[in-house]
């Protein structure tokens, strides 16, 4: 069992294509937020066999530093997102993994 420890890191990176227009909102405390869906598709080799990898993940961008970068995000933008993953409860009570962006890079 892992003990709670500040040296344990939660780091995740994902490259993909934006599939829906970003949704922007401000929290009651005045923090700007932006959410969008990023779709990833690739092929990996697992046990010497090709495997298709596909996922769609919700990306959460918060705070003034990164919000500016989201202004040029459109459907079809290719991005590399680096950040941390956490679980959010959906309106239906289901747990959903969300990537909280700490870095956003546009891929040509």
Q: What is the chain's pLDDT, residue by residue, as a tens digit (108 residues)?
A: 556 556 679 999 999 999 999 999 999 999 999 999 999 999 999 999 999 999 999 999 999 888 888 999 999 999 999 999 999 998 999 999 999 999 999 998
Say what the pLDDT of residue 65 is: 82
63 Rama class: left (phi>0) / alpha (psi -120 to 50) / beta: left
Strand partners, 104: 81
User: Is-contact 71 93, C-beta < 8 A?
Assistant: no
Position of tokens 């919000």?
A: 67
Say what the pLDDT of residue 64 is: 84
pTM of the model: 0.87
76 Rama class: left (phi>0) / alpha (psi -120 to 50) / beta: left
Say what the pLDDT of residue 2 is: 55
Q: Can you list the domains of the chain with their CATH numbers?
A: 12-106 (2.40.50.140)
Say what the pLDDT of residue 8 is: 78
């Amino acid at each position: 069992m892992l003990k709670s420890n500040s040296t344990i890191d939660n780091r995740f990176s994902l490259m993909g294509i934006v599939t829906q227009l970003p949704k922007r909102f401000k929290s009651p405390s005045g923090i700007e937020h932006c959410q969008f869906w990023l779709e990833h598709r690739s092929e990996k080799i697992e046990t010497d066999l090709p495997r298709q990898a596909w996922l769609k993940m919700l990306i959460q961008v918060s705070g003034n530093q990164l919000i500016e970068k989201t202004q040029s995000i459109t459907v079809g933008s290719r991005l590399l997102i680096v950040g941390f993953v956490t679980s959010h409860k959906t309106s239906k009570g289901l747990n959903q993994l969300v990537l909280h962006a700490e870095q956003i890079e546009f891929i040509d």
